[in-house]
Homo-oligomer: A and B are copies of this chain.
């Protein structure tokens, strides 16, 4: 394994580790428990489940990996705050969406080469990427790992 492959392995391991930690948290709560706010006046567990699913689903288009699975989630879980009153899938369905998105992402992630990870994401022009080559797919992944870790820290506050 060369250095680039080792570094990619470390980053993918970090991603997988955070996904596993989130899975463990979500699976540890009933649907009813996920309806509680993680702290007073903060997001509910189920909102964070939907939010993380939507943000991860966005990776298909942002990383140029194909069609998104559930683009309709953005309206409720990204563009609207918790308790917006907007119609949303039932919690059990959201659990399935969360798993489907992460499983399909993992299939792509395990197949991409280092060269491919260092290619531009779809939200930057060729001109800008020539000047700012760090704005690549791998950088997007690193920001999403932190985003997930951030919300995991909040989900650990959810009470049974």
Q: Does A55 contact B (CB under 8 A)?
A: no
- The A interface, classified by DSSP as helix, strand, loop or mixed, is helix
Contacts of A7 in B (CB 8 A): 4, 7-8, 11, 114, 118, 138
Are the CB atoms of A149 and B138 closer together than 8 Å? Answer: no
Contacting B at CB under 8 A, from A16-70, are 17-18, 38-40, 42
Are the CB atoms of B142 and A11 closer together than 8 Å? Answer: yes
How many copies of this chain sit in the oligomeric assembly? 2
Q: Does A95 contact B (CB under 8 A)?
A: no
Are the CB atoms of B39 and A134 closer together than 8 Å? Answer: no
Are the CB atoms of A10 and B139 closer together than 8 Å? Answer: yes
Question: Total interface residues on A, using CB and 8 Å?
Answer: 37
Q: Does A78 contact B (CB under 8 A)?
A: no
Contacts of A40 in B (CB 8 A): 39-40
Contacts of A142 in B (CB 8 A): 10-11, 13-14
Determine how close the nearest CB of chain B comes to the CB of A137; give it in whole angstroms. Answer: 10
Report which of B9, B42, B138 forms a contact with A157, defined as CB distance below 8 A: B42
- Cα-based distance from A152 to B3 in the complex (angstroms): 31
Contacts of A133 in B (CB 8 A): 1, 6
